[in-house]
Structure 1
Amino acid sequence: MKRILSAAIIAFSLMLSLPVLAQWSEQNHAERFEQLGPMLRSPNVYRTASGAPGHQYWQQKADHEIQVELNDENQSIKGWQKVTYYNNSPDPLKYLWIQLDQNERAKDSNTPKIAQSNINNRMNLRQLEGILWHDLDLGYKILSVKDLSGKDIPITIVKTMMRVDLPQPLMPGQKTEFTMDWTFNIHDRMSFIGGRPGYEYFEKDGNYLYTMAEWFPRMAVYSDFQGWQHKQFVGRGEFALTFGDYKVKITVPADHMVGSTGVLQNADKVLSATELDRWKAAQKTFDTPVVIRTQAEAEKLEKTKAKDKKTWEFHAENVRDFAWTSSRKFIWDAMAVKQGGNEVMAMSYYAKEANPLWGQYSTKVVAHTLKSYSSRTFDYPYPVAISVEATNGMEYPMICFNYGRPDADGTYSDAVKYGMISVIIHEVGHNYFPMIVNSDERQWSWMDEGLNTFMQFLAEQEWDRDYPSRRGPAHKIAPYMASEKSTLEPIMTNSENIIQFGPNAYAKPATALNILRETIMGRELFDFAYQEYATRWMFKHPTPDDFFRTMEDASGIDLDWFWRGWFYGTEPVDISLETVNWYKLDNRTPAEKKADQKKAFDKEETYISKEYNQKDIPQTVVEADPSTKDFYNSYNPFSVTPEDEKAYKDFMASLNPKEKELVNSGMNFYEMKFKNVGGLVMPLIIQFNYADGTSEVERIPAEIWRLNESGVSKVFAKKKEVKSIVLDPYRETADIDESNNTWPRQYAPSRFEMFKGGGRVRGASAGDNPMKKAASKK
């Protein structure tokens, strides 16, 4: 609707006052723009108000010497380890806490006890096994914990945690050393038990592929912000771990290939002469991976299982964990990657079942990930980055286990290809978050999963311009944010308490960071602040407070409203463009104004009764009796009088040049009213589509909602006439209802399909493999 603004307004003021919007809720000014303040920990000498480590920041250190032997006959390992623990805290410690993560699968584990279960009409064996929790002999057997003189140290095992009671308190600045002997049976991770570590058995050739993670008793974190982190491990919430140096000797069957955290120290003793030559060549190759053990060589070893053993020795410095993999099935390829002043070995280990997909892509994806992540954080500091095909996805320092196995004929769908590339990027990327920027995954899953998923999205887009990224773009999180309230929790929720874990811990924080980068802060400010956070906290233990504060400190932007809404709340984004009123300044002459008034009057006085009365009333009283007429029967209110002409001339003459220019500009004013239906405040991003076919986007900061969080009004002055308006045209705010984002409203029919009976068999694959179809035609 267009309205005319009287030119007389100009005589009083050149300012247009904004009308107050009707109240849309009982509480229009809640807490959405209040500072986080009391919700964050108070700054101190360990962590500053700026988000940086304080001048007295400290963290513990734990060095390890480990000897472990894999038994390929009965799928078990036994190990010995020496721990040197450094107390860098200001506190005396009477005892130490150690994580026994394998006990998650022990007989008395809480994991199956707290898992919900139910009986369906149809139950398969795997479902029943999950309920029965068969009497498997899993979990640690701690054989001894001794000091260096061989004297037993008292211990107390509490499910997945173990307390080591020291003979005397470990004082600040001191270190203590002790040894542990232990063993456990490795479980089939492809079974109902699942989990990250374990083995996969290949029935066709009778071989095993081992992914040895969370395999040794690991030191818990003692920190300035919570003391000991000894929350029980029940499966989802991952880990908080202490940095240290590792020297590890791994004894396996002689024909096994071992990949591991750290640098191989005895390649000349464990590799064949041919493999050693290829390994040396790979260290000088920067474009194409060198295959060190080929598929043909691996297939030969599958058939002739060695009885003797070899010991592989690896060293790793300043890592928070250590993992390894072993199998005679492995193909191994590697290439060098330049990272700053370092050369990193990007490598892949995979069985023949993963080819040709893995041989073509894996190591190149590892190299790309290092380059992409390093450009936005810090140069990758470790000498090795490994990707292992193991039908799962999990990360450890310098090594990760990924999926992506083609069909038996070597063909694969694009879903398998891109799924493999994405998981490799994601798991290799975890080297940065949390392996180096060492957040507490047990408490805040989003600090590693969310930040890493955001970085994964950026790396995916750099890999392929049309990459089908699942997480990152704002509109893809809208269905989750529109979920039933009963299924939603804030991002700042412990991982074990989250119903929709993937969207909450991975997708929503990744989307939030992408919105910050693209819409709220802009790429330059965001990238600077994000890199500042990464470099401040590399090889340290950050908390959410440190991240929030650093992002504001380095950018100069107050983001408390954003953290409140996206990380501490569950409200969705749904901003409705309620009304648009169109105004123009009135610069018409008296004749033009009267003519327009006549048209408006005639339109107002045109109605059906009047039309019918032309026939049904032959003569009115006034028509029949001239004496009933007076002045008004001949008066024309739409005629232009000399007084009208003089008033117009006098007004125009009173205007100064600037006022006259504005009156004659033909400017259009659009008064727009917005309603905050969803509750989460966001910027207003408005696209004006003009009658001449051009368009323009205006961006209004979220702070427009400060005084009324339920609804706001804004007037836009435009030289051109607006044909239509679109709110959030690039889908960058995660608005859950786009039907109320246009003016005039645009409606599209919902489609339904008519079909003739039948359907595919229940459980049949709905996927597509065009590669297989193309191959079948050849």
Structure 2
Amino acid sequence: MKFLLFSLSLLTVVSSTQAQRRGGRRVNTNDTIKSNYVPKELFEPLHYTDKGNEFHSANGEPGPKYWKQRVDYVLKANLDTTTHVLSGTENITYTNNSPDALSYLWVQLDQNTYKEDARSNFATGGGPSGQHTKGYELESVELSVAGKVQKANYAISDTRMQIRLPKDLAPNGGKINILIKYHYTVPANGNRTGHFKTKNGSTYEIAQWFPRMCVYDDTSGWDILPFLGSGEFYCEYGDIDYSVTLPSNMIVAGSGELVNPNEVLTPQQISRLAKARNSDKTVMIRTAAEAANHSSHQSAKPTLTWHFKMFNTRDVAFGASNAYIWDAARINLPGGKKSLSMSVYPVESDWGRSTEYLKGSIEYFSQKWFVYPYPVAINEAGHAGGMEYPGILFDGMGAKGEGLFSLIAHEIGHNWFPMIVGSDERRFAFMDEGFNTFIDIYASDVFNKGEYAPKRDGEYAPNKGNPADEIIPTIVDPNAPTIMTAADAVPGNYRHPVEYFKPAFGLVLLREQILGKDRFDYAFRNYIHKWAYKHPQPDDFFRSMESGAGEDLSWFWKGWFYNNYKLDLDIIDAKYVDNDAKKGLSVTIANKEKLPMPFWVEVFMNDGSKKRMQLPVETWIQTKAITFTIPTTSEVESVRLDPDAALPDINRANNVFKVK
């Protein structure tokens, strides 16, 4: 069939604020159509409440005086697999790059969320439940200033500890060291961390395992929100040097790079790893047979110490098991750079392609958005289900096939949001889960020539249908929170639709319906590069996209992010001008609800040909209805709005009009 694309310039467009002549009388369409749409609410100026400043520029980029704190850690841990107790010492070097003198510091104590009286037990109104531990048991907290060590004056409140300094920490580069000795019981089958048994042994997933400094930024000052569970993490950047001592028959898979392989690996494992670094195909490092008899370890010593380093990171985590099968392959990065994709999993897991999935996802994200910065990426199988940390993922050991690929692509995608672009997950979950779900969509499209495309996995189009239709129940639900709701305030049944699905689909609308792929990709890539290893706020993202793409999007941020505004486009009328098909088709379209959108109109001719045109969002800048003429030379069968069903129109029944 013929298909003709018409630009707006080919059409006669008449705003319906002007009186239209119909059957000899004049009708003002805006007066006669019932609609909830109010143009001035969406297109009013001064959307941003704050002006740009020297820290956060008006164009959405870090300002000339932008600063962030630096935190470096040296950690030494011992894991007792009999008592399930992790004991640790840490030396934190805290650098105050802010312009403020600090009289106190705040530290995150996330393990305290497992205490019986933790606030997280009450966050959903249900009271204490589940397993409990004593949380962090601090043996000592000391300060070291200019080489002099003294006991720290501190106070603990739930998952936070305030250290009250004897002297203000100087601004613009002042340093202090915090020395902490502690231990805690690793919870069994915990939500993000824990231990459990498999056929061939025990596995530990160790995360949030050391006291971490709270963020001090130029927006909120100290980030002192307690850890309640749904809102995740907000951390400072620095270098982390950590060592883990545990039974010698266990394999440790940790964030960063193993710096003492000769002390903990067998010569055969070292040789196999060297082969994997030069192989695009997966190479076995520890086979199922070796994992079954626990034979592949370095020595007969009762314990070994695994030593890792990770640079410019906001966190580290590790898995440990005597049951791990271990494989690896090379990751090819832009500019000739290389990294290493690895998977560790028990024999029960159907993870033969895990390393391939991880490698493919990282190569795509690196080529498309920002080069993966770490020397190793690990997928670890366990009970956590799906949890991300810099350079390592804790993924559900039962996942396989398409489900495993989607899980890996999503969790490793978090290394871009929020591990590289360091947003505040505890306040703004959409900048973490939503942005990451968005980039996953296109990873599914390209992996192995679309083997698992399109992405439809519960975080995006959960029922495997059209995303534009599946988001509608959330939009029309009067109880649904908005995207800008604080993470911990979003009820569990709304978490995926509000934090994952809606923001991700919103970026799809921006890319494919509002800005176009080229303009969106340029602006989004610029946002990532400018805010890598920094702490952007929502307005930084909004401003960055507007300036980078060259479009005022305030109407979209208001309607989609700050509100759950609905869209309902309606073809009111379609008829020939002067009853003559050769003079064109006069079409009247109304916006019945509060959200405007650019939209496509498609005309089906009786001869089988089609004509398609797009009207911009400015169609709705003054009016709630518009009448325009489409040139035609023959009779029309019907007119259709949004022919690709790409917009979240809540009533598609009024999107088709049969022409008499």
Taking structure 2 as the reference length, the TM-score comes to 0.90
What is the alpha-carbon distance in structure 2 between the residues aligned to residue 153 and residue 428 of structure 1? 38
Alpha-carbon contact 1:430-1:452 (below 8 Å) kept: yes
Alpha-carbon contact 1:64-1:83 (below 8 Å) kept: yes
TM-fit CA distance, 1:559: 1.1
TM-fit CA distance, 1:720: 3.7
2:446 matched to 1:437?
A: no
TM-fit CA distance, 1:235: 0.4
Alpha-carbon contact 2:37-2:595 (below 8 Å) kept: no
Q: Which residue of 2 aligns with 1:647?
A: none
Q: Which residue of 2 aligns with 1:728?
A: 642
2:63 matched to 1:54?
A: yes
Alpha-carbon contact 2:159-2:226 (below 8 Å) kept: yes
Give the % identical residues: 35
Alpha-carbon contact 1:683-1:699 (below 8 Å) kept: yes
Alpha-carbon contact 2:574-2:587 (below 8 Å) kept: yes
**Partner letter of residue 265 of structure 1?**
V
**1:336-375 to 2 correspondences below 5 Å:** 336-341=330-335, 342-355=337-350, 358-359=351-352, 361-375=353-367
- 1:740 match: secondary structure: helix
TM-fit CA distance, 1:50: 0.4
Alpha-carbon contact 1:84-1:178 (below 8 Å) kept: yes
Q: Which residue of 1 aligns with 2:315?
A: 321
- 1:177 match: secondary structure: strand
Match for residue 688 of structure 1 among 581, 597, 603: 603
Q: Which residue of 1 aligns with 2:394?
A: 401
- 2:545 match: secondary structure: helix
- 1:336 match: secondary structure: strand
Distance of aligned partners of 1:253 and 1:529 in 2 relative to their CA distance in 1, 3 Å threshold: same
TM-fit CA distance, 1:582: 2.2
Q: Which residue of 2 aligns with 1:179?
A: 179
Provide, for residues 346-366 of structure 1, a one-character-per-residue CA deviation record: whole Å limited to 9, x for no partner. 1111111113xx12x211111
**1:271-282 to 2 correspondences below 5 Å:** 271-282=265-276
Alpha-carbon contact 2:460-2:500 (below 8 Å) kept: no
Alpha-carbon contact 1:243-1:539 (below 8 Å) kept: yes
**1:646-665 to 2 correspondences below 5 Å:** none
Alpha-carbon contact 1:533-1:550 (below 8 Å) kept: yes
2:509 matched to 1:491?
A: no
Q: Which residue of 2 aligns with 1:34?
A: 44
Q: Which residue of 2 aligns with 1:218?
A: 212
2:56 matched to 1:141?
A: no
Alpha-carbon contact 2:79-2:85 (below 8 Å) kept: yes
**1:144-543 to 2 correspondences below 5 Å:** 144-148=140-144, 149-172=148-171, 173-189=173-189, 194-202=190-198, 204-205=199-200, 207-285=201-279, 287-301=280-294, 308-341=302-335, 342-355=337-350, 358-359=351-352, 361-391=353-383, 392-403=385-396, 405=398, 416-463=400-447, 464=450, 467-470=453-456, 475-483=466-474, 485-499=477-491, 500-543=494-537
Structure number with higher relative contact order (C-alpha < 8 Å, ≥ 6 residues apart): 2
Distance of aligned partners of 1:307 and 1:675 in 2 relative to their CA distance in 1, 3 Å threshold: farther
TM-fit CA distance, 1:377: 1.6
2:82 matched to 1:73?
A: yes
What is the alpha-carbon distance in structure 1 between the residues aligned to residue 443 and residue 88 of structure 2? 39
Distance of aligned partners of 1:478 and 1:15 in 2 relative to their CA distance in 1, 3 Å threshold: closer
- 1:438 match: secondary structure: coil
What is the alpha-carbon distance in structure 2 between the residues aligned to residue 306 and residue 514 of structure 1? 55
Residue segments in structure 2 that go unaligned for 5+ positions in a row: 1-11, 21-27
Alpha-carbon contact 1:46-1:53 (below 8 Å) kept: yes
Distance of aligned partners of 1:238 and 1:26 in 2 relative to their CA distance in 1, 3 Å threshold: closer
What is the alpha-carbon distance in structure 1 between the residues aligned to residue 218 and residue 13 of structure 2? 56
Alpha-carbon contact 1:404-1:419 (below 8 Å) kept: no
TM-fit CA distance, 1:306: 7.9
Q: Which residue of 1 aligns with 2:594?
A: 679
Distance of aligned partners of 1:720 and 1:310 in 2 relative to their CA distance in 1, 3 Å threshold: farther
**Partner letter of residue 739 of structure 1?**
A
What is the alpha-carbon distance in structure 2 between the residues aligned to residue 221 and residue 132 of structure 1? 28
Q: Which residue of 2 aligns with 1:554?
A: 548
**Partner letter of residue 730 of structure 1?**
D
Taking structure 1 as the reference length, the TM-score comes to 0.76
Distance of aligned partners of 1:303 and 1:277 in 2 relative to their CA distance in 1, 3 Å threshold: closer
- 1:571 match: secondary structure: coil
Provide, for residues 724-743 of structure 1, a one-character-per-residue CA deviation record: whole Å limited to 9, x for no partner. 12211112112222222111
**Partner letter of residue 301 of structure 1?**
H
Distance of aligned partners of 1:478 and 1:34 in 2 relative to their CA distance in 1, 3 Å threshold: farther
Moved more, 695-704 or 527-536: 695-704
Alpha-carbon contact 1:254-1:306 (below 8 Å) kept: yes
**Partner letter of residue 275 of structure 1?**
Q
Kindly report the root-mean-square deviation, in angstroms, between the aligned alpha carbons of the 2 structures: 2.3
TM-fit CA distance, 1:218: 0.7
Alpha-carbon contact 2:131-2:187 (below 8 Å) kept: no
Moved more, 699-708 or 50-59: 699-708
What is the alpha-carbon distance in structure 2 between the residues aligned to residue 15 and residue 107 of structure 1? 67
Distance of aligned partners of 1:564 and 1:165 in 2 relative to their CA distance in 1, 3 Å threshold: same
TM-fit CA distance, 1:296: 0.8
Distance of aligned partners of 1:472 and 1:34 in 2 relative to their CA distance in 1, 3 Å threshold: farther
- 1:718 match: secondary structure: coil
TM-fit CA distance, 1:694: 1.5
Distance of aligned partners of 1:158 and 1:132 in 2 relative to their CA distance in 1, 3 Å threshold: closer
TM-fit CA distance, 1:560: 1.1
Provide, for residues 539-596 of structure 1, a one-character-per-residue CA deviation record: whole Å limited to 9, x for no partner. 111111111111111111111111111111112222222222222576xxxxxxxxxx
Provide, for residues 322-364 of structure 1, a one-character-per-residue CA deviation record: whole Å limited to 9, x for no partner. 1111001111111111212421111111111113xx12x2111
**Partner letter of residue 451 of structure 1?**
F
Residue segments in structure 1 that go unaligned for 5+ positions in a row: 1-13, 118-130, 407-415, 587-665, 746-778
What is the alpha-carbon distance in structure 1 between the residues aligned to residue 13 and residue 441 of structure 2? 46
Provide, for residues 595-638 of structure 1, a one-character-per-residue CA deviation record: whole Å limited to 9, x for no partner. xxxxxxxxxxxxxxxxxxxxxxxxxxxxxxxxxxxxxxxxxxxx
Moved over 4 A (4+): 14-18, 302-307, 471-474
TM-fit CA distance, 1:303: 12
- 1:435 match: secondary structure: helix
**Partner letter of residue 604 of structure 2?**
N
* Larger strand proportion of the pair: 2
**Partner letter of residue 24 of structure 1?**
K
- 1:83 match: secondary structure: strand
Alpha-carbon contact 1:475-1:735 (below 8 Å) kept: no
**Partner letter of residue 292 of structure 1?**
I
TM-fit CA distance, 1:23: 4.2
Q: Which residue of 1 aligns with 2:91?
A: 82
What is the alpha-carbon distance in structure 1 between the residues aligned to residue 115 and residue 300 of structure 2? 32
Alpha-carbon contact 2:116-2:128 (below 8 Å) kept: no
TM-fit CA distance, 1:116: 3.4
Provide, for residues 155-209 of structure 1, a one-character-per-residue CA deviation record: whole Å limited to 9, x for no partner. 11010111111121001121101210111111122xxxx421112223x55x321
What is the alpha-carbon distance in structure 2 between the residues aligned to residue 234 and residue 216 of structure 1? 17
Q: Which residue of 2 aligns with 1:604?
A: none
Distance of aligned partners of 1:677 and 1:723 in 2 relative to their CA distance in 1, 3 Å threshold: same
Alpha-carbon contact 1:686-1:726 (below 8 Å) kept: yes
TM-fit CA distance, 1:34: 2.0
Q: Which residue of 2 aligns with 1:713?
A: 627
Q: Which residue of 2 aligns with 1:98?
A: 107
Whose radius of gyration is greater, 1 or 2? Answer: 1
Alpha-carbon contact 2:36-2:594 (below 8 Å) kept: no
What is the alpha-carbon distance in structure 1 between the residues aligned to residue 310 and residue 13 of structure 2? 68
Distance of aligned partners of 1:525 and 1:531 in 2 relative to their CA distance in 1, 3 Å threshold: same
- 1:457 match: secondary structure: helix
What is the alpha-carbon distance in structure 1 between the residues aligned to residue 480 and residue 592 of structure 2? 18
Distance of aligned partners of 1:466 and 1:245 in 2 relative to their CA distance in 1, 3 Å threshold: closer
TM-fit CA distance, 1:135: 7.3
- 1:487 match: secondary structure: coil
TM-fit CA distance, 1:679: 2.2
TM-fit CA distance, 1:717: 2.2
Q: Which residue of 1 aligns with 2:561?
A: 567
Alpha-carbon contact 2:133-2:187 (below 8 Å) kept: no
TM-fit CA distance, 1:42: 2.4
- 2:418 match: secondary structure: coil
